[in-house]
Structure 1
Amino acid sequence: MKEFIYVMQDPEGNHARPAGKVVAIAKNYQSKASLWIGDQSYDLKKLLSFMSAPIKKGDEVVIRVEGDDEDIAADTLKKEFEEAFKG
């Protein structure tokens, strides 16, 4: 399992356009990808699940990736979070 922490930079927090980009990337990999806020998880391969995550600017989330291609999937998702949610 690979994981990284992301602190939301976008003033709007979690919203549709960048979330859609993240979901599209997560779907390219076999690995399971999830976002965690405390003990609650959200599936990064399902837009409605990801969009239901209550993330505001400054919130810290954990992204966990697990599977055969977890290394490349985690690296790519980290880059996309940093690009898509930079505000």
Structure 2
Amino acid sequence: MKNVSKFNIMEMIQFDLRSYLCPVPLVMARCALKQLPSHVQALFRLNKQSDIRDFELLCEEMGLILKEKRENKGEIQLIIVSSN
């Protein structure tokens, strides 16, 4: 019998906030994260003017994990998950 490992696959919801200026993306992210189920990851796409530190503080305040930060051509991508 083969040993089969199980993968923890999480659903991901994307939020494209690149067309908004601060503080709007942060406010919208806070509202979205309050409603985010624990088994779902959130991918936020932001413009370069957004301050990642604000999102780090938001995660700290809400008890969430900023799992990944990426900076691509003209945008920032953040993946946020529940700490549960």
Q: State the TM-score bracket (shorter-chain normalisation).
A: 0.3 to 0.5
Could you say which structure has the higher strand fraction?
A: 2
- TM-score normalised by length of structure 1: 0.35
Rg comparison, structure with higher value? 2
**Greater RCO, CA 8 A, separation 6+:** 1
- TM-score normalised by length of structure 2: 0.35
Could you say which structure has the higher helix fraction?
A: 1
